[in-house]
Amino acid sequence: MYGLNRKDTVLLLIVAILVAAAPLLLNPFPDTSAMGKTFNAGYPDLMQRFVIFGIFAIGFNILFGLTGYLSFGHAAFLGVGSYAGMWMLKLLSINVIPAILFSIAVAGAVSLIIGWISLRRSGIYFSILTLAFAQMAFSLAASVLTPITGGETGLQTSLNDPRIMPGFLGGGTVNSAGNIPAPSLLGMEMSESFILNVGPWAFTFNWGYYICATFMLLAFYIAIRIFRSPFGLMLKAIKSNQQRLNYTGLNTRPYMLTCFVISGMYAGLAGGLMAAMDPQVGAERMQWTASGEVVLMTILGGAGTLIGPVLGAGLIKYFENIFSKINKATLEAWFGVFPDWMTDLLVTLVYPFIGKGWHLTLGLIFMLVVIFLPGGLVEGGQRIARLFRRGKTGAGALKPAE
């Protein structure tokens, strides 16, 4: 289907079904229950982060997973895409489509310049160069380019924005209350939601989430085509032994530069969607920690795999937004069934790993994955699947005659 083999088509359909059903799957507990208040993740803001950072990680995986080139500067393209999208929302229309397209174009142009310089080196030197460019971009956005970026305050939409095409695809200059209009598509704001009440459950279906999810599925489909294409095979050959390819007389730089630009455009798309979901952009999106975060997402999920980066992005964002909310009072309620001395002991032992200490738990998970599952969560799933297949094969095998 659409240039995919059967296996890839099934994978794409599974991802599409999971994304469509996310508002249901991420709310497994009744909203009024203690478990629901703690662990339910089916609210619009978090679901949007899941798919946006999934796009970011998919794009990074095209570079790192296929070629082995580790970039510590991809946050620069995320930030550039966010600023470019915000300026489109201010100058052209509040509609998100021009903002997203301009974000991709500007991020692609910036990644072309940075890639052309950085790819003159490989290995750790390439990583350091990308990190240096990202930090320069952060400094420019935070101070030097204040008239364009808003400096430390950031950039946001306002009622005084010109918007030369205010009515484009349902846009406008003010909302129904006369306030700053929210980013929209076809007249529907990105924050617009429909709540479905089913008994004690309340499922939220958000318009902005499904717009982001559509872009993520498109990005995922393009990534599959890249992985299976002759271009993708050449990138894998570069990862395997670039020096040998150079000895054959093949110039690998055009392939690497193209891959770098594609990866940067994915980051720009994620940045544009972030601006569309939250029309206030700051320089913090360009910090080195954002670049390190996408590295963690890719490695945790499984570098070089198709679905791995999406899983890694979901895991880290879940920890950041759900696991980090668990506090000491929650632990005391959980362990309250035990004697007081045991409750105090359990709370003392567990508390450093939750709440503000969630990074410690994430670090332990990352360490265990790197040591025991180098292929990330995808490898873990494959091992479990093999165990089940081995069990079925063993149960159905014929015993030798006595």
Closest alpha carbon to 107 in 282, 268, 260, 262: 268
- Average pLDDT across each block of 10 residues of the chain; the chain has 402 residues. List them in order: 85 94 91 84 91 96 95 94 93 90 96 96 93 94 89 85 71 62 82 88 92 96 95 94 88 95 97 91 88 93 93 92 86 88 92 87 89 91 87 56 41
Question: Looking at residue 64, what is its pLDDT?
Answer: 96
Question: Looking at residue 402, what is its pLDDT?
Answer: 40
Give the C-alpha separation, 326 to 209, whole Å: 25
- In contact, 92 and 98? CB cutoff 8 Å: yes
Question: Looking at residue 385, what is its pLDDT?
Answer: 87
CA angle (104 as vertex; 98, 110 as ends), nearest 5 = 130
Question: Looking at residue 400, what is its pLDDT?
Answer: 46
Question: Looking at residue 199, what is its pLDDT?
Answer: 84
- The per-residue DSSP string of 92-121 comes to T-SBHHHHHHHHHHHHHHHHHHHHHHHTTS
SS3 33: coil
DSSP state of 224: H
For the segment 13-46, what is each residue's pLDDT rounded down to a tens digit? 999 999 999 999 999 988 888 788 888 888 899 9
Question: Looking at residue 36, what is its pLDDT?
Answer: 84
Closest alpha carbon to 322 in 290, 296, 363, 354: 354
Question: Looking at residue 333, what is its pLDDT?
Answer: 86
Give the C-alpha separation, 57 to 63, whole Å: 10
